[in-house]
A and B are shown apart, each in its own frame.
Chain A
Amino acid sequence: MKKVLAIVLALVMVLGLAACGTPANNNTPANNTADDKPLAGTYKIKVWAAENNQELTKKQIEAFNQSNDMGIVIEATVEAVSEADAGTNMITDIEAGPDIYWFAQDQFARLVNAGALDKLGEGASKTVSEANDPGVVAAGSINGQLYAYPATSDNGYFMYYDKSVIPETDIDSLEKLIADCEAAKKYFAFEAQTSAWYIASWFFGTGCHSEWEMDNDGKYTGVKDDFNSANGLIAAKGLYKLVSSPFHLSSSKGAEFESGAAIVVTGTWDYEVVQKILGDNMGVADLPSFEVDGKQYHLGSYNGCKLVGVKPQTDAKRGAALHQLAQYLTDYDRQMERFNELAWGPANLKAQSDDKVKANPGLAALLQQNAYSVPQGQIHGSWWDIAKVIGDDVKESGGTDEGLKAALQKYQDKIDALFSMSDEEKNAWTVIGDINGDGWSIDLPMEEVSAGVWKTTQKYDLKAGNQFKCRQGKSWDVSIGNGGDNYVVEKDGSFTIVLTLNGDSGTITLE
């Protein structure tokens, strides 16, 4: 038993050390003086890039070694890990994870939360934000602080169609497209029953929002979501038109053209496949509009991106060198290189306006669709599962207003449940104010030491003039300060804040 205990304790210690091993480095490599090269050295690093990007990344790192004048030599092992999986894999064991890695933006929040992304320094932040698409920059930032380097802006979807089945005049109208497909007995593939990413398209099309709020640590604190609204009902009616068609196929695979599809809604990653299958009959376009009560609504979409992240390093110099490399891998020339070799849509503004980029039909359709798209910000991980059933629910509703409303209400209830608190949390008191280096955003915990008496769990350094209030359930419905006003601290010192409740009112004292 002792042995087991010893092992457990040893592991706890190791884990503890691992947790300490990642201080946030704010390396600003901007002020290198040229005469001495502070970052010079050889660095052995590990990089994760998608399989098709693996060779190119190796080549680009080699080019960085040749071209940088800071004396940085990178010896990189590049492993093939898809951007879509990088986040999950990284979080499994950050320590064993790569130093630089590509990831799709939907994993951003989790990575920040897990401490797997090193912040960009001020200089780099400025350069990167100015050079890249603001939507992508926002996807890599939390409250204005950049945590990753924008690399592509092509994770969106648009419509591929078979020109031999769909007349070009019909591509703007969902109703006509459905009719064409039904007439030709061909499928309309739109992943509207199994993927929240695609389902959101309908709601964004009618002006609905789903925006998640996050604190500085990457934790979700709330959501502004109005899918369950009058506009949401219109979207659900439009969605019903498609999912109730016998020729609707809930899929987003380009290869569906081989199995009887005439339309597939998917992204640039399927371009090659569709082109090979359809050849000259391939058509690409932005998503169509649907009509409800005589009004047209253009389908919206998510537009997402890929980012390059740097893992926090214990060695500041190494961290700075890695940031140099990450910035290099995502600059204009490298993004253009990736566009030329892999047809990845650049995030760089200058590259986006390049004639060659504009001439790529897939990216052109995506760009057209971008006018109706919503940048994919930070989204709660559970949302994907909650929202993906809307399609099925809408289909089963039978298309009646009541049925559709019930489907949306079901969605809303699940979203609300994400942030609902237990009774204990609702009853608990906390302290909030401009104390402890905070500006009325963090609730400091209190505990009930005896009936009606709440104390903070630790002492806080308070300064004369600091103001705060105690509130219940982390909401302003019930709060106590100096009566209804804020409590103002009278003298400096380290105090435990004590709240003595007396019916509906209470008094605050400092101990």
Chain B
Amino acid sequence: MSKKNDYDPSEIKRAMGMTAKNRVSNTVIYVVLVIMSIVWLIPFFCIVFQSFRCESTWMAGYVFPTKWGLDNYINLAKTDFWKWYTNTFIIAVVVAVFQTIIVLCMSYTLSRFRFKMRKGLMKFMLVLGLFPGMLTMIILYRVLKDLNMTQANAVPGLILVYIASSGMGYYVSKGFFDTVPKTLDEAARIDGATRAQVLWKIILPMAKPIVIYTVLTAFMGPWGDFVFARYISMNTSAGMNVAVGLQSWLSLDQINNRYTMFCAGGVIVAIPVTILFLCLQKYYVEGVTGGAVKG
């Protein structure tokens, strides 16, 4: 397709052939894409529809409710749901703020400073990062328990857990910072800027996508976490996050009364994340790919 020559009939023919070919391949691609998006969207729509079902509260074998209404959403207020929601929100926001600061500082340091053991430290963190976080679960639980940060006090405990190791997630943003020319730093330094000023005034304004990417991932982690949250809250309703709380509605004795409310809860959980993504999508893609340059 790169070269078109209107004067050469054979070229035109070939071009037409290619359009026809294109049309076929486009059709195939679109059919595949449509099928894929249907497959991906079905569960989501099922949950949304179920959350509006008012005629019964158990798991039903059909998708479209016969009686629509907001009962399930209204009933959520009668449970601990909003308590769990608030817990999750507090955790996610605090973690998003702190983790972003830590990650950005870490990346800046590793990208711009040259100090003894810099390489060693990076390698060490890489190796450390290879261990699954779950390995530390039991010992973390014991430590948090001794600090009285489990059960009803799980919120500060969870915040601590999520923030504690956040410095190790520096790869993507360090990669991005490395692409910002060092000469900019040097110019700023010559003009009398401190290292911190370089970060805040020079680098960060250029690194908006990566900041947003960091905030998003920092927010998403605790927002959807289940395993740690479940262990640390240890079945105490006051310390649960929304994933753990909603899961407790799926036990045999509750599911028949709570299934549609569970779906309603799920929809509400999805709302802030969806909005966040819709607004920040543009930066998100840039952020993910922006950092993927050789570091």
Contact = CB atoms under 8 A, between A and B. Distances in A.
B205 interface: no
A259 to B, nearest CB: 2
A23 interface: no
A269 B59 contact: no
B59 A81 contact: no
A258 interface: yes
A70 interface: no
A14 B146 CA distance: 9
A361 B73 CA distance: 34
A253 B59 contact: yes
11 contacts: A11-B139, A14-B146, A79-B235, A80-B237, A93-B234, A97-B234, A253-B59, A256-B61, A259-B62, A273-B58, A277-B56
Given A255-B61, A258-B62, A276 B56 contact: yes
Identify which of B58, B60, B62 gathers the most chain A CB atoms within 10 Å of its CB. Answer: B58
Contact of B253 (A11, A255, A269): A269
B254 A82 contact: yes
B51 to A, nearest CB: 17
A258 B253 contact: no
Nearest to B61: A259
Interface residues of B, number: 25
A254 B62 contact: no
Interface size class of A (residues with CB under 8 A): 20 to 34
Interface string B134-172: 000001011001100011000000000000000000000
A51 interface: yes
B130 to A, nearest CB: 19
**Top-6 shortest CB links A-B:** A259-B61, A82-B251, A255-B58, A50-B253, A81-B235, A273-B256
Contacts of B151: 96
Q: Determine chain B's interface SS by DSSP, over half rule.
A: loop
Interface in B243-289: 248, 251-254, 256-257
Contacts of A255: 56, 58-61, 256
B60 A85 contact: no
Nearest to B245: A80
Nearest to A93: B234
B231 interface: yes
B136 to A, nearest CB: 13
Interface string B175-196: 0000000000000000000000
B236 interface: yes
Nearest to B60: A258
Interface in A78-104: 79-85, 89, 92-93, 95-97
A259 B56 CA distance: 13
Contacts of B256: 254-255, 269-270, 272-273
A11 B141 CA distance: 12
B58 A80 contact: no
Given A14-B146, A79-B237, A260-B61, 12 more contacts: A52-B257, A80-B237, A82-B252, A84-B252, A85-B251, A89-B235, A93-B145, A96-B145, A255-B61, A259-B60, A259-B62, A269-B253
Contacts of B234: 89, 92-93, 96-97
Contact of B61 (A84, A89, A258): A258
A188 interface: no
A101 to B, nearest CB: 10
Contacts of B145: 93, 95-96
B253 A83 contact: yes
Interface in A254-284: 254-256, 258-260, 269-270, 272-273, 276-277
Nearest to A96: B234
A83 B253 CA distance: 8
Contacts of A273: 56, 58, 256
B292 to A, nearest CB: 36
A332 interface: no
A71 B62 CA distance: 55
Contacts of B236: 79
A190 interface: no
A198 interface: no
Nearest to A8: B139
B231 A92 contact: yes
Contacts of A147: none
A273 B257 CA distance: 9
B229 to A, nearest CB: 14
Contacts of B150: 96
A48 interface: yes
B55 to A, nearest CB: 9
A273 B61 CA distance: 13
Contacts of B60: 255, 258-259
Contacts of B56: 255, 258, 273, 276-277
A469 to B, nearest CB: 42
A276 B257 CA distance: 12
Nearest to A271: B256
